[in-house]
Amino acid sequence: MKKFVIPLLIVAMVAILIATGCRPKPPERPMYPAEMPIGMVVDLSGPHAELGKKLSTGAEVGAYQMNEWGGIRNMLSMDLRLIVADDGGSPERAAAEAERLITEEEVIFLLGAWPTAMAVSEVAEEHETPFICPLSLDPLLTERGYYYTFRTVGSVSDVAGQMVYAMTKSAEEAGLPPPKTCFMEYVSDEPSVAVAEAFKPQAEEAGIDIVGEEIVDATATSFVPQLTAIEAAEPDLLFSCHYTDDAIILYREMMERETYFPYGVFSCGGGVEDARFYEALPQPAYEYGFSYETGDPLPQRRSYYDWINSEVKARIGQDWEDYSIGTGYAAVWIIKESLERMTPPSLVSQVGGYKGMEFSLDLDEFRGNLRYSLAVLAVTRGDTAKIQLPDGTPFLPALQVMRSNRIEFDETGQNLYGVGMVSQNIGGTRWPLYPERRRELDSPSVVLPIPPWGER
């Protein structure tokens, strides 16, 4: 019997060796570089230099903290190196800088914003490089069928819809009949006009009649002629859209003239989100005003505020009080989430990798994979269980900083959940009120009708 056992053992061992030799080897982890370059094109020296500086500061702080807190973790903690290019507010210069960043600096993606976002997106599309826009309301940005463009904030339709909802819901909550008439007054730039055009049909559908319209120049030094026309129409409320300097003039003149709207002034545009606006005016000038918020109007209340604010202040010498800093910051973390889903699941140190992706460090393929990862990205509040802060605090910046519940792009590259909120200034604080889920636990009730000037 033994003479049969030994040959059988030999045959079994040979079979095992053959099977082992034929078994595919486990995938090797790619040898990631220590860092990869990322590009940003904004105005640092032209007419919108202040905005560009804040956007780039937010992105710089985001990249710095992301690297300090572990980098792209499933890529051996690879860092991202941000290269910021100045376009001077010129679309032609923006296109040239985008070209340089893609072809010479070999960035893996681009960041850019209004007013040069369209020019940057065209170059990005030509070179098949993902372009992430954290600030632009131009409807054409995501309506041209471009494959590589993604916008993180809401669309003009989202903004207009949120404002109409706040107009009608605030009256309902205050026990008032819905507003019947609205006067529209806004600057003549493309984003403002686009929001206004989206607002008109939605307002009329809600039963709000547009009784007048004034399109103004943002460089005007007075809006008295427009206010005269507005006061003559006696509307229930005012729709307004301005930048900072012109918003300061408008609100000061409304206070001086005691221009009154029983259902309030509803403003959109960066002017009423800028700390400079509130520093330049006495509180009664803006008290009880409503504003559409692109970002979080109360960042100081958040547990993560100090983590971001200390770095912002070190760079620009002022506190983090501006929506544009938050949008730039959050955009970098959206990219981090996408990058950490690019590697095949067998190599990912967290749940969420995308199956079927043939990972490659070839630059063209890497950019293509990142585009795909952004296109199918779905980040929810449930992902906050992932530890980010060095003290062990769960923190998913792309959601918390922008006060969003979810990030997901549609087929056009538009963030489906990027719409902001409408606040009312009560007691010198902009309290988020609409949609209701954005309210603070101690948010006051809406104040309507608006108190007369002598009672503010």
For 148-192, the pLDDT digits (tens) are 999 999 999 999 999 999 999 999 999 999 999 999 999 998 889
Stated as kind and residue range, the H or E segment containing 339 is helix 323-339
For 40, the 3-state DSSP assignment is: strand
Whether 4 is in a domain gets the answer: no
Whether 241 is in a domain gets the answer: yes
Whether 244 is in a domain gets the answer: yes
Whether 348 is in a domain gets the answer: yes
Residue 292 gets which letter from DSSP? E
Same domain, 168 and 147: no
Instruction: Name the token pair of 244.
Output: 């900072």
**DSSP string computed for 218-261:** TT-S--HHHHHHHHHH--SEEEEE--HHHHHHHHHHHHHHT---
Same domain, 288 and 426: yes
Angle between helices 323-339 and 363-375 (to 10 degrees): 110
The sheet with strand 181-187 has its strands ordered as 209-216, 181-187, 237-241, 265-268, 290-293, 421-426, 429-434
Q: What is the mean pLDDT of residues 81-88?
A: 98
Give the pLDDT confidence of 39-57 residue by residue, as tens digits: 999 999 999 999 999 999 9
Q: What is the mean pLDDT of residues 94-111?
A: 98
Judged against a pLDDT cut of 60, whether residue 139 lies above it is answered with yes
The pLDDT, as a whole number, for residue 248 is 98
Cα–Cα separations (whole angstroms), residue 413 to 197, 285, 372: 22, 39, 11
- Distance CA(397)–CA(320), nearest Å, equals 14
Give the pLDDT confidence of 311-321 residue by residue, as tens digits: 999 999 999 98
What CATH code is carried by the domain that includes residue 369?
Answer: 3.40.50.2300
One-letter amino acid of 213: E
Same domain, 367 and 398: yes
Please answer whether residues 433 and 423 qualify as being in contact, where contact means their C-beta atoms are separated by less than 8 angstroms.
yes
The pLDDT, as a whole number, for residue 35 is 94
The pLDDT, as a whole number, for residue 357 is 66
Please, where are the H alpha helices in 23-136? 49-68, 91-103, 117-126
Q: CA torsion sign, 426 to 430 to 431 to 432?
A: positive
Q: Pick from 226, 137, 106: which is nearest to 418 by CA?
A: 137
Judged against a pLDDT cut of 50, whether residue 14 lies above it is answered with no
Instruction: Name the token pair of 272.
Output: 């009423």
The pLDDT, as a whole number, for residue 341 is 86
**Lowest-confidence region among 135-144, 229-238, 278-287:** 135-144
64 Cβ partners below 8 Å, 6+ apart? 311
What's the chain's Rg over C-alpha atoms?
26
Whether 1 is in a domain gets the answer: no
Q: What is the mean pLDDT of residues 120-149?
A: 95
Instruction: Name the token pair of 123.
Output: 């170059």
Question: Is the pLDDT higher at 344 or at 5?
Answer: 344
Q: What percentage of the chain carries pLDDT values higher than 70? A: 89
Same domain, 170 and 281: yes
Q: Pick from 136, 107, 143: which is nearest to 124 by CA?
A: 107
Residue 178 gets which letter from DSSP? P
Predicted TM-score of the model (pTM): 0.89
Same domain, 139 and 286: no
- Distance CA(424)–CA(438), nearest Å, equals 13
Same domain, 242 and 320: no
Q: What is the mean pLDDT of the chain?
A: 90
Same domain, 286 and 176: yes
The pLDDT, as a whole number, for residue 19 is 45
- Distance CA(96)–CA(209), nearest Å, equals 46
Stated as kind and residue range, the H or E segment containing 204 is helix 190-205
Instruction: Name the token pair of 386.
Output: 């992932």
Q: Pick from 40, 63, 162, 163: which is nearest to 110 by CA?
A: 40
SS (H, E, C) 314-334: HHHCCCCCCHHHHHHHHHHHH
Stated as kind and residue range, the H or E segment containing 335 is helix 323-339
Q: What is the mean pLDDT of residues 232-236?
A: 98
**DSSP string computed for 128-153:** T--EEEEE---GGGGTS--SSEEE-S
Please answer whether residues 144 and 122 qualify as being in contact, where contact means their C-beta atoms are separated by less than 8 angstroms.
no
20 Cβ partners below 8 Å, 6+ apart? none
The pLDDT, as a whole number, for residue 24 is 45
Please answer whether residues 183 and 211 qualify as being in contact, where contact means their C-beta atoms are separated by less than 8 angstroms.
yes
The pLDDT, as a whole number, for residue 149 is 98
Q: Which residue has the tokens 């983090």?
A: 320
- Distance CA(432)–CA(429), nearest Å, equals 9
For 431, the 3-state DSSP assignment is: strand
Question: Is the pLDDT higher at 26 or at 292?
Answer: 292
Judged against a pLDDT cut of 60, whether residue 276 lies above it is answered with yes
Whether 245 is in a domain gets the answer: yes
The pLDDT, as a whole number, for residue 343 is 67
Judged against a pLDDT cut of 80, whether residue 270 lies above it is answered with yes
Same domain, 277 and 183: yes
**Lowest-confidence region among 71-75, 200-204, 227-231:** 71-75
Judged against a pLDDT cut of 90, whether residue 239 lies above it is answered with yes
- Distance CA(255)–CA(262), nearest Å, equals 14
Structural domain harbouring 362: 35-153+300-408
Whether 26 is in a domain gets the answer: no
Give the pLDDT confidence of 413-456 residue by residue, as tens digits: 999 999 999 999 999 999 999 999 999 999 999 999 999 999 98
Whether 15 is in a domain gets the answer: no
Judged against a pLDDT cut of 90, whether residue 4 lies above it is answered with no
Give the pLDDT confidence of 198-207 residue by residue, as tens digits: 999 999 999 9
- Distance CA(50)–CA(181), nearest Å, equals 36
Q: Pick from 37, 6, 4, 22: which is nearest to 363 by CA?
A: 37
Q: Residue 116 phi/psi, 5° resolution?
A: -110, 15
Per the structure, the count of domains in the chain is 2
Same domain, 161 and 221: yes
Same domain, 277 and 188: yes
The pLDDT, as a whole number, for residue 127 is 98
Same domain, 253 and 183: yes
Same domain, 110 and 187: no
